Amino acid sequence: MTEKILRTKIQETVEKARAANPLAPSITNTVTQDFVANAQLAVGGSAAMFYLPDEGETMSQIAPALYLNLGTLMPFYAETIPRTLRALKKFSTPFVLDPVGIGFGELRTELFLQMKNFPPTIIRGNASEIIALAKLWGLNDSETGKVRGVDSTDTVNAAKNSAAILAKFTGGAVAVSGVEDLITDGEIFIYSTGGSAFLSKITGSGCALGGVTAIYAAVAEPLTAALTGTVIFNCAAACAEKLTDAPASFKVKFLDELYKIDAAEVAENPLRIEAAK
């Protein structure tokens, strides 16, 4: 896939979401629901959050894509998540997984283990989470020691192998967030830069990226959807940072930019492409 084609797909995906107003319902943590929903609306999508099993089944049937983020589990997730996963598979509905909190708590570990049988269309996490998920699913035992590092370019590189293995296993795409972000389908490795240090000074920017990626997954295939989400975040954050000097006003400007930014400008954001060896 040439860079030119990728850039055209990014622009088309941004425009399609704005035109189609796709609904991407979420099971997501209670901390950042407002940010996730407002980010989804800002890029042209529609949001709905829910907790109950039968709602998960209905949403999996009627919505074009879902977003799952197990950041703040409550006891009834033990029933909601499995039933939603079964329905997602039954109706072949694409979904984005944020493996936040992986390794923390028995229920979360159990639910992430179950997901191996219901592979997410797109996995969006930081390097440690991606490595931990590949390890939990028994796909890559060699990188065990690096799980607890902080996010950095090095760490994204450290997660490159796990990301590729996960993408090949799921048949979808994986996005690894860091200073330089990595998006891969296991065959091609795309690196995206930009963004802002303020994204890590506000809560939920990773969650919001997952939710926006689900909006794009409703109108594009996995690699393009994952790439478009990451790139519009990098582009809008870089613009917002120029307008502010502190995190709360950055967040307002960032959401504004997600809404206002020109699709062609998003598509021109820096990209670096490597093919798998």
d(CA 87, CA 110): 18
* CB-CB contact of 124 with 175 (8 Å): yes
Q: Contact between 104 and its own copies (CB under 8 A)?
A: yes
Among 3, 5, 19, 51, binds its own copies (CB under 8 A): 51
Please give the residues from 153 up to 192 whose contact with its own copies meets the rule CB under 8 A.
none
In the numeric block, which tokens belong to residue 63? 């919505």
Q: Taking the alpha carbons of 39, 67, 69, 213 in that order, is the dihedral positive or negative?
A: negative
Verify binding: residue 242, its own copies, rule CB under 8 A: no
258 and 215 in contact (C-beta within 8 Å)? Answer: no
| CB closer to its own copies, 45 vs 222 | 45
Query: Can you tell me the distance from the alpha carbon of 39 to that of 2, in angstroms, rounded to the nearest whole number?
Result: 29
Backbone phi, then psi, for 105, in 5-degree steps?
Answer: 95, 145
Which of 5, 8, 30, 187: binder of its own copies (CB under 8 A)? Answer: 30
Least distance in angstroms from the C-beta of 260 to its own copies: 5
- The radius of gyration of the chain from alpha carbons, rounded to an integer in Å, stands at 17
Of 11, 13, 33, 228, the residue at the interface with its own copies (CB under 8 A) is 33
The answer to the question of residue 75 lying near its own copies (CB under 8 A) is yes
Which residues have CB under 8 Å from 158's CB, separation 6+?
127, 131, 143, 146, 149
CB of 165 to its own copies, least distance (A): 28
CB of 105 to its own copies, least distance (A): 5
Q: Does 252 bind its own copies (CB under 8 A)?
A: yes
* # binding residues, its own copies (CB under 8 A): 48
Contact footprint for its own copies (CB under 8 A): 29-35, 37-38, 41-42, 47, 49-52, 54-55, 58, 71-76, 104-107, 201-204, 244-249, 251-257, 259-260
